[in-house]
Amino acid sequence: MKRAIDLWILGIVLLVHGLPAEAQQAGKMPRIGYLVVGSEVGQVPEAFLQGLRDLGYVEGKNIIIEYRGDPQRREDRLPELAADLVRLKVDVIVALSPPAAHAAMNATNTIPIVIRSTGDPVQAGFVTSLARPGGNITGVTSISSELYGKRLELLKEVTPRLSRVAVLHNPDRSASDFKRMQSAARSLDLQLQSLEVRASNDFENAFKAAVKARAQALITIRTPLINNQRKVIAQLAIKSRLPAIYDERQYVEADGLMSYGTNLADLQRHAAVFVDKILKGRKPADLPVEQPTKFELVINLKTAKQIGLTIPPNVLARADKVIK
């Protein structure tokens, strides 16, 4: 009888001591690392947060987001910021720009990483293949660099007798993209003029060079520097009376003329789907990288009026959004 009582007391003691650890484990919230080049410090894009909410995740209630970004948009700080997320042992790192993705990839080969690639993620070295990524990285690709030909075609449609297009780019980051664009331009009988920018104070001189060389339109190659100067580029294009086309609608919303590409907000929302799958136990190696199936054309008629351009009705009819 005494032995039975002793065993019963021992069981109660073990149960009481075990409960806090189990409760703590059960109450542990997943931790997401969010790594960016710049943007507003301490903020995560609403589209990504909405994607998480659609899947039942609410920041601060059942998920924690560790944001890491440099307010000065310095890419050289990305390795340090990525290493910080690794030290925190986050459950997954979200890096929705190629520079951030590279920093995360170099910081860890074990923590799952969700990326957004603007080009070919296989060629960029992120994954082994789209269908079987094979490592700790997966995500989405906007295939922006594969749409240069289509953007040049749209410029030809809206610009009468177009023959010379200025290309705004950072040659230190976009050599392969410029070659790809040259190939597309040759098939359309267009000549490209390289406008090289390496710093924020290079843009005004670049546009002066475009006007001096009699460029008739403008196209950009996406890099962090170009993306961070959207408003400046749009205003200089208007001042120079250059019809311009970009890869994302954010440029058009910042007074750019046209954009053709994937909807960035949609990709951010979809990144949340990958996060959800990983938190539920799926391995990035087994989650195929997804490519967009829909592209949008956005046109700003106010900007067209400012530069004295009439958008042909057949182009307007194809637009997904028109800003008036």
pLDDT category of residue 39 using cuts at 50, 70 and 90: low
Strands laid side by side in the 164-169 sheet: 191-196, 164-169, 217-220, 244-246, 258-261, 296-300, 321-323
How large a percentage of the chain has pLDDT more than 70?
90
Quote the CA–CA distance of 260 and 295 in Å, as a whole number.
Answer: 7
What integer pLDDT is reported at residue 13 of this predicted model?
Answer: 41
Strands laid side by side in the 64-68 sheet: 64-68, 31-35, 92-95, 113-117, 137-141
**Model confidence pLDDT, tens digit, residues 283-313:** 999 999 998 888 999 999 999 999 999 999 9
CATH annotation of 30-143+264-286: 3.40.50.2300
What integer pLDDT is reported at residue 230 of this predicted model?
Answer: 94
**Model confidence pLDDT, tens digit, residues 255-280:** 999 999 998 888 899 999 999 999 99
pLDDT category of residue 224 using cuts at 50, 70 and 90: confident
Range name among 144-148, 247-251, 254-258, 277-281 with the lowest pLDDT average: 144-148
* pLDDT of 239 higher than 90: yes
Helix (H) or strand (E) holding 294: none
Quote the CA–CA distance of 257 and 241 in Å, as a whole number.
Answer: 11
What integer pLDDT is reported at residue 120 of this predicted model?
Answer: 83
What angle (nearest 5°) sits at the alpha carbon of residue 137, between those of residues 131 and 138?
Answer: 45
> What φ, ψ does residue 80 adopt, rounded to 5°?
-65, -45
Instruction: Please compute the mean of the pLDDT values over residues 47-62 and round it to a whole number.
Output: 94
What integer pLDDT is reported at residue 21 of this predicted model?
Answer: 34
Whole-number average pLDDT of the chain: 89
What integer pLDDT is reported at residue 23 of this predicted model?
Answer: 35
Sign of the torsion formed by the C-alpha atoms of 47, 53, 57 and 60: positive
Domain 145-261+295-323 CATH class label: alpha beta
Task: Select the highest-mean-pLDDT range: 63-72, 218-227, 297-306.
Answer: 297-306
Q: Is the separation of the CB atoms in 206 and 197 below 8 Å?
A: yes
Grouping H, G, I as helix, E, B as strand and the rest as coil, residue 32 is strand
Instruction: Please compute the mean of the pLDDT values over residues 103-125 and round it to a whole number.
Output: 92
Instruction: Please compute the mean of the pLDDT values over residues 33-49 and round it to a whole number.
Output: 76
Quote the CA–CA distance of 136 and 109 in Å, as a whole number.
Answer: 6
What integer pLDDT is reported at residue 4 of this predicted model?
Answer: 47
C-beta neighbour count of 276 within 10 angstroms: 18
Instruction: Please compute the mean of the pLDDT values over residues 28-40 and round it to a whole number.
Output: 84
Name the token pair of 30: 């997943």
Instruction: Please compute the mean of the pLDDT values over residues 66-84 and round it to a whole number.
Output: 89
* pLDDT of 43 higher than 80: no
**Model confidence pLDDT, tens digit, residues 147-173:** 999 999 999 999 989 999 999 999 998
What integer pLDDT is reported at residue 11 of this predicted model?
Answer: 47
For the entire predicted model, the pTM comes to 0.82
What residues does CATH 3.40.50.2300 cover in the chain? 30-143+264-286, 145-261+295-323
Residue with tokens 């065993």: 7
